[in-house]
Amino acid sequence: MADKNPVHETAEKVGAQKETSPKNPSTFSSAGKVGKQFNPDGAVGQVGEEIGGPFSKDGAVGSQFDASKGGVAGTVEKAVDGPSQSKK
């Protein structure tokens, strides 16, 4: 692991134990019932896009919800073995 952040390392260890897959995503992953609402086209993500600025998908706050990156959503994605972070 190149990332030496203990939170990220723990999230990866927990995610490795999950029995999820892109076809069977965790509820909280970016493809799950709850997690997908935070994507830019989801119910919560659209609000940030409408407000814009730091809340847009590329802004300081909004970018934390991109599950393919290492922000808040990326760490959750690792912990639930979501499709954006899965190494299986």
Q: What is the pLDDT of residues 33-63, one digit of tens each?
A: 998 888 888 898 899 999 999 999 899 998 8
- Kindly indicate the confidence band of residue 87, based on its pLDDT and cuts at 50, 70 and 90: low
Report yes or no: 85 and 15 within 8 Å, Cβ to Cβ.
yes
Look at the block and give the residue holding tokens 């979501």: 82
Tokens, residue 61? 């706050």
Q: What is the DSSP letter of 84?
A: T
Report how far residue 83's alpha carbon sits from residue 65's, in angstroms, rounded to the nearest whole number: 14
The pLDDT of residue 88 is: 47
